[in-house]
Amino acid sequence: MIVFNPIGYVRHHSDDVPRHWTVSDIEGDLDILPEYQGGLVDISAGQRIVVLFHFDRSPSFEKAHLRQKKRHTNEIKGVFSICSMIRPNPIGLSVVEVLAVQGGRMRVKGLDMFDGTPILDIKPHIEADRRAENESTHPVT
């Protein structure tokens, strides 16, 4: 059993939340709790960040959810090949663009979570194609 606690919450006023961050222009705030705000110090406008969050309003995962219909194509896919909110561990991942940082509040664009969603972690966004570049500057020897 692994226990986590929210580091903050997503806040926005959109009723219509897109199915995925790749098709979202929704702007809103990531409100980070006071005890974690010091960790935001190197995040600035223009960056892309990875937000891990808790799908706190998903139904419980059942065996029947191992394969699910993709919302926009109707294909049936294994749960680990799609971004469904019904997952064994309901963790979501979105890449959003930072518009502004003010104290513990980050204004971002590209939200696909509901207002009030608990945030679990924020990470730098690293493209898989940075792989080759990193390898040449920091070789494993």
Instruction: Decide whether 13 or 41 has the Cβ nearer to its own copies.
Output: 41
Question: Residue 133 class from Cβ within 10 Å (0-12 exposed, 13-18 middle, 19+ buried)?
Answer: exposed
Query: Minimum distance between the CB of residue 13 and its own copies, rounded to whole angstroms?
Result: 16
Neighbours of 98 (CB within 10 A): 20
CA torsion through residues 92, 98, 102, 103, sign: positive
Q: What is the dihedral of CA 117, 93, 95, 125, to 10 degrees?
A: 130
**3-state SS record for 106-117:** EEEECCCCCCCC
77 binds its own copies (CB under 8 A): yes
116 binds its own copies (CB under 8 A): no
Query: Minimum distance between the CB of residue 31 and its own copies, rounded to whole angstroms?
Result: 14
Nearest in space to 107 (alpha carbons), one of 37, 51, 17, 45: 45
49 binds its own copies (CB under 8 A): yes
88 binds its own copies (CB under 8 A): yes
Total chain residues near its own copies (CB under 8 A) = 64
The interface with its own copies within residues 13-32 (CB under 8 A) comprises 18, 20-25
- Binding residues for its own copies, rule: CB under 8 A, are 1-7, 18, 20-25, 35-36, 38-43, 48-50, 52, 54, 56, 63, 66-67, 72, 77-83, 87-89, 91, 93, 95, 110, 118, 120-131, 134-135, 138-140
